[in-house]
Amino acid sequence: MRKPKTKRMYLLFACLLCFGAAVGLTLYGFSSSLTYFLSPRQVAAHAPPAGETFRLGGIVQTGSVRTTMNGQAPTTRFAVTDGQAAVQVVFTGVLPDLFREGQGVVAIGALGPDGTFAADEVLAKHGATYMPRDVAEDLAKSGKWNPAYGPPPTEGSL
Amino acid sequence: MIPELGHFALALAVALAGAQGIIGLFGPNLRDARALIAAPLLAASQAAAVAVAMAALIWAGVVSDFTVENIADFSSSQVPLLFRISGVWGNHDGSILLWCLILALCGAAVAVAGRDLPASLRARVLGVLGLISAGFLLFTLTVSNPFTRIWPPPLDGAGVNPILQDPGLAFHPPVLYTGYVGFSVAFAFAVAALIEGRVDAAFGRWVRPWALVSWCFLTGGIALGSWWSYYTLGWGGYWFWDPVENAALLPWLTGTALVHCAIVVEKREALKAWTVLLAIATFSLSLTGTFLVRSGILNSVHSFAAAPDQGLFILVLLGLAIGGSLLLFAFRAPSLAGGGVYAPISRESALILNNIFLCAIAAVVFTGTLYPPFVDLLFGVQLSVGAPFFNQTALPLAAPLILAMAAGPLLPFKRADLAALFPRLALAAAAAGVVFLAFFANAHIIAGLGLAGGVWIIGGALTGLFRRRLTTLPRAVLGATLGHIGFGVSVLGIAGMTLAAQAVVVLAPGQSTQAGGLTWTLTGIHDAPGPNFTRRVADLTVDGLTLHPSRRFFAVQGTTTNDAAIHTNGFEDIFAVFADEPSGGAELRLAVHPLAPEIWLGGLIMALGGFLSLTDRRLRLGAPARRRA
């Protein structure tokens, strides 16, 4: 009866090794690549260190979008606001189809040394009335918008 | 009138599914032959009833009956016919009805194709399927009824979401759902076998074709979805590690493990409890994936059909299905003693290794996908786990899998000799080494590793065919080889995509630019008509080719979408997107994607391999019980 037992020990060892590796990789991944969602208010209160990646969510401030040409590549600057604070964002690349002033947006990137948020990616979901969930919750928390009372705030209210 | 008929058929289907569940599960204990015949008949009539309901909804969509709320909200009279039909499942209520239809058809397929099964097992399998059907049909009928009427009806519908107005919608959801739902049959077999307390080689032989069919569809569905999101800009390329994508990947990973370890049950009667657990886990992950996304618990860029208010009903259904089956497993698993002794170096061990790694990857992806909602729920902290996490964790675990994948099929069952194996793989190893060195020399280390991995897998698979006559090989062996080659081709494509070059430029008509080693010239911009949109088309010349990326304006929704122009030669895609039209020209995203077509070609080859394996004589001839005696 020795044989099946050694077989099982070897299997157990292989499983432990592999799942140990999985757990280790997961913890390492969590420690290095989790990104937090912050609203402009939270950035104004406690700005994360320059270079640390996070997700910035809010409304594209009306009248803040400026596109300039950097050689042949377009660079867009805009402000993301939650009604209490605004963060300047700079992004080079193609903006989503539904990126508009007064619409909800999530930008992924990091703060630069000058306090401008350099976005690697800008997300706006498909659907004209869509509000990113994180943004909706945050606006509701800050008292700027209650989803029960109609569409999200636009130009005048912010 | 027709929608009411559909509504009635849906209600009828709930009753039939309930009867199928109860008679199927408890009938075999009655020692009454009628109870055993009833379950297949009920399964067939339930499938017919759900099909009538689906047909009624499609009819309402085709004739644009806007008194039906679902049609008024998600269709319009200007939408082309294809999208009036496929738009029916492009929203929450309709997509769940499609899900139920496929589940009912699976039940009918078991009723028809399972004539060689022992009558009591077939009744119990159909009973389990009936109970699942009953739960989700009841959910459709009470909480998300697609036949709800509105009065007064609007003059015109709100229209299909412009992003969904794509042939992809017609094919991707049905194929993907068939993959998801097909695993319900493997699940039902596992639960029925646990109830009967009998899992043997015959179980492996019965469950494997069903698991394999669903696996093929799931592979095809994922490949189709990936291709769709690739050519539709804004969905983050071909793979985004988005919760919806992970929801499809998880059952694929465990389903792949299931398809492999069922071989061990069938040939060697070992790993029985593990196979049963995998069958339960795969369908549980399918259910969780479909409905966590639908219930709005997971946040995704692809979900068009969120309905957060219905979360509780779904959670209760999930809890009953998953908790119940796991409880049954906990009670019955200790009685499933495995047989078959094998050495540490053998085909069995290789298949176990495959399972360990696939499940480890699944565990990592599962953790990464569900961590954010849990942290939000427990601590109120909003964070996200993005692509870097999944790349850092899943890829290192995939590397040993790829290494072992070439060797596994070359090992014989019971006991193998590594010393005899190495010379056979020398050629594949040499080819992979040359590929790696060629890219390493150009400082493309990641791409070199990936491409070498792909070459290694394909080389290993071809080694298995070396000096064997193809015409006499069992189709199962050919299918498995083709499946492995397909995976290798996908790996090549994914590795090649890391070498992609892209540029974002604004060009005025007549201007040129350089990107990816090609010269791109904008020759002009013009307007063009479309069915329910107008188009603005950019004419691009790239080294003698002409590309026409366009922007579509949908007046009804006030939305703009991009229609990418792709020129492919089978090994490289030239990809152009007309992103915006600022004053003085067109904003264009230009890219060259090496080996991109191989990603989906590989998926197609994998699915074909699965289907080829299904035509094997062994699986077509039924009655395995007799052969065992």
Whether residue B13 is predicted with pLDDT greater than 90 in this model: the reply is yes
pLDDT in tens, B455-491: 999 999 998 887 777 777 888 889 999 999 999 999 9
Beta-carbon separation of A134 and B392 below 8 A: no
Is residue B367 scored above 50 in pLDDT? Answer: yes
Do residues B413 and B346 touch, judged by C-beta distance below 8 A? yes
Chain A contact present for B393, CB below 8 A: yes
Say whether A26 and B163 touch across the interface (CB within 8 A).
no
Closest-approach residue (CA) in chain B for A137? B382
Return d(Cα B434, Cα B455) in angstroms, integer: 10
B55-88: b (≥16 Cβ within 10 Å) or e = ebbbbbbeebbbebbbbbbbbbebbeeebbbbbb
Q: What average pLDDT does the segment B311-340 reach? A: 83
Residue with tokens 């402009």: A40
Q: How far apart are CA A80 and CA A64, in angstroms?
A: 9
Q: Which of B364, B389, B505 lies nearest to residue A73, judging by beta carbons?
A: B505
Chain B closest-CA separation from residue A16 CA (Å) = 10
**Angle ∠(A107,B589,A71) on CA atoms, nearest 5:** 85
| Cβ proximity of B478 and B464 under 8 Å | no
The pTM assigned to this predicted structure is 0.88
Distance CA B158, CA B32 (A): 54
Q: Measured between beta carbons, which residues in chain B are less than 8 angstroms from residue A97? A: 234, 559-562
Yes or no: say if B594 and B572 are a contact pair by the CB < 8 Å rule. yes
Chain B hits for A96, CB-CB cut-off 8 Å, are 234
CB B344 to CB A33 under 8 A? no
How far is Cα A95 from Cα B210, in angstroms, rounded to an integer? 44
- Least Cα separation, residue B511 to chain A (angstroms): 11
- DSSP conformation letters of B128-157: HHHHHHHHHHHHHHHTS-TT-B-SSPPSS-
- Shortest distance, CA B229 to any CA of chain A (angstroms): 13
In this model, does residue A126 exceed pLDDT 90?
A: no
Supply the pLDDT for residue B490.
95
Which of A25, A35, A96 lies at the smallest CB-CB distance from B393?
A: A25
Interval B529-568: pLDDT, tens: 888 889 999 999 998 889 999 888 888 777 788 888 889 8
Pairing of strands A86-92, A117-123: parallel
The ipTM (two decimal places) reads: 0.72
Give the model's pLDDT for residue A149.
45
Q: Mean of the per-residue pLDDT values for chain B?
A: 86
- Higher-pLDDT residue of A34 and B105 is B105
CA angle B70, B75, B78 (to 5 degrees): 155
Q: Which of A120, A96, A95, A122 lies closest to A110 in space, CA to CA?
A: A120
Please report the pLDDT score of residue B259 as a whole number.
92
